[in-house]
Amino acid sequence: MEVVSKRTDRRSFLNYLLGTGIGAAVVSFFYPVIKFLIPPRIAEAPTSSVVAAKVGEVAPNTGKVFRFGSKPGILINGPDGSLRAYSATCTHLDCIVQYRPDMQNIWCACHNGRYDLNGLNIAGPPPRPLEVYDVRTRSGEIVVSKKGG
Amino acid sequence: MLRSLSQRTWNWLDERLNLDELIAHAKEKTVPIHKHTLWYYLGGMTAFLFFVQVVTGILLLLYYRPSSDNAFESVQFIMTEVHFGWLVRSVHSWGANLMIAAAFAHMFSVYFLRAYRKPRELTWVTGILFLFIALTFGFSGYLLPWNELSFFATKVGTEIAGVIPLVGHFLKRFLRGGEDVTGATLTRFFGWHVAMLPAAAAMLLMAHLFMVQRLGMSSPEESTDGADNPSHGKTMLFFPNFLLRDLVGWLIALGILGALAAIYPWELGVKADPFASAPANIKPEWYFVFMFQTLKILPAKILFMDGEVLGILAFGLAGLVGLLVPFLDTQSGPNRTSLIFTVLGVVALVYMVAMTVIAYI
Ligand code: FES
């Protein structure tokens, strides 16, 4: 009796060792693979202001998509000739919006979303307003910057 | 002379591999004949079109270059410079669409004939997984020409993954290879499209075909205890009768593919520009249109949730139910169908067709 239980003890102990050994091996094989699949984060200098266009480049009642760091922004010369800028990334599902002179609104072609000239989502599926940027003109250039930046 | 040579080769192989036994087995295989027999051809049709995709895909690989600077130009090169490049690429694009259409038709016919009942639950599951893989093939392949439409389709598609609660952000980064849709996304999609998905599809297809071979064709009147009842109803031999009919179908499909490719060569469109507005009348491939149209119709807020989150979760749930149908439908038996699942199937089919039609008119 004694001997048997000792033997089973030893056996289960060995099984345990073997099991954890194999388990650890499997984990050590897969861990690097899983990690490899996840893209590394690329540090980006945060952009706080860019030159979006030259003065006079964007006619009244039209818009222009410009590069704001790695993201698109949109500069709009309103029907009244006032300049405004917003993030051009639709808050619904990430499409790039455009200015529609016929509606005098900002329009997203992807699912027919609409924003007014304050960037507010007024129709269609977008759940949130567009981020609004500051616009200044400086020696013939239109400079767009993050609010408060 | 030739005959004796082939006979000798056969004998040589047979002596070692015992092939006559396999042949004898194949000769026994039969296909039931009844008013729904026509539906049996859809599975083989899907497999054939998959084979066409593999062949044309390998050909395209010889010229395609997977980077945001080169992809569009390389497809342009295939379409304009490479001999019959337009044909190969158009057959690949049209073939993808026909294959998915065939797979959907196959799925719905199997569903309404209740062929997923015991003992074929796993055949159904592998089939549905294959359909999911086929859709992923379509989604990833769509991006590869790197044109405007595919760029925005990918942005929206991966953002959809991004709104799933909890895991969304991680999933989106994983799919895109970063925060945004860029050249990194293209390389990733390329890797899935030409390596990972084909491997997965091949394994599923083999499992699926193995089970079809093992269990034989389901017949609507059959009992579910797994026992064959060959005395029941008329049958035809699989080999050669059914296979020859299959071949005729495949030949016709190839003819249709060639004609489509020649008359309507697949367009290339405009090269993607990550800093340009989404073009008007943007639409995904037709097999995603029902989901696309739903997202368009859903209001921004439903109760306390963003509309699209609810929509996406609902589609995810529907997909899961679809996958598990054989385990959920315990009512269906021989000559007996469960009303709930008939209704569910009809509702799903009508919904998909209606949403698609609405989007196109
Ligand atoms: S992404 Fe703009 S409305 Fe859907």
| B5, part of any domain | no
| B293, part of any domain | no
Give A108 Cα–ligand 1 centroid separation in angstroms: 6
Q: Give B237→chain A minimum CA distance, Å.
A: 48
Letter for the amino acid at A8?
A: T
Tokens of residue B158, six digits:
């991966």
Q: Within the 168-227 window of chain B, which residues sit less than 8 Å (CB to CB) from chain A? A: 170, 173-174, 176-180, 184
Q: What is the pLDDT of residues B22-36, one digit of tens each?
A: 888 888 888 888 888
CA-CA distances (angstroms) from residue B107 to A74, A95, B63, B99, B100? Answer: 45, 33, 35, 12, 10
Q: Give B154→chain A minimum CA distance, Å.
A: 10
Q: Of how many residues is chain A composed?
A: 149
| B49, part of any domain | yes
What are the boundaries of each domain within chain A?
A: 1-40, 49-146
Each of the 149 residues of chain A gets a pLDDT tens digit; together they read 556 677 778 888 988 999 999 999 999 999 999 899 889 888 777 788 899 999 989 999 999 999 998 899 999 999 988 999 999 999 999 999 999 999 999 999 999 999 999 999 999 999 999 999 999 999 899 999 988 75
Strands, E assignment, chain B: 30-33, 234-237, 301-302, 305-306
Out of B160, B180, B282, the one facing A109 most closely (by C-beta) is B282
Backbone angles phi, psi at B3, to 5 degrees: -65, -45
Q: β-strand A98-100 against A105-108: which pairing, if any?
A: antiparallel
The domain in which residue B244 lies consists of: 33-216+235-271
Over residues B173-201, the mean pLDDT reads 95
Over residues B311-329, the mean pLDDT reads 94
Over residues B61-88, the mean pLDDT reads 96
Give B1 Cα–ligand 1 centroid separation in angstroms: 70
- The pTM is what? 0.90
Whether the per-residue pLDDT at B355 is higher than 80: the answer is yes
Out of B162, B275, B301, the one facing A72 most closely (by C-beta) is B275
| B10, part of any domain | no
- Assembly ipTM: 0.83
Tokens of residue B12, six digits:
């040589």
List of residues 6+ apart from A119 with CB closer than 8 A: A86, A106, A129, A130, A131, A132
Rg (CA), chain B: 23
Q: Provide residues with CB under 6 Å of ligand 1.
A: A 90, 92-93, 95, 108, 110-111, 113, 124-126; B 156
Q: How far is residue B127 CA from its own chain's centroid?
A: 9
Share in percent of chain B as helix, strand, coil (round to 5): 70, 5, 25
CA-CA distances (angstroms) from residue B58 to B43, B88, B147? Answer: 23, 10, 21
Q: Which residues of chain B neighbour A65 with C-beta distances below 8 Å?
A: 275-277
CA–CA separation, A100 and B94 (whole Å): 34
What total of structural domains would you count in chain B? 1
Letter for the amino acid at B12?
A: W
| B302, part of any domain | no
| CATH code for the domain of B205 | 1.20.810.10
Q: β-strand B234-237 against B301-302: which pairing, if any?
A: unpaired
pLDDT higher at B129 or B25: B129
Q: Return the CATH number of the domain spanning residue range A49-146.
A: 2.102.10.10
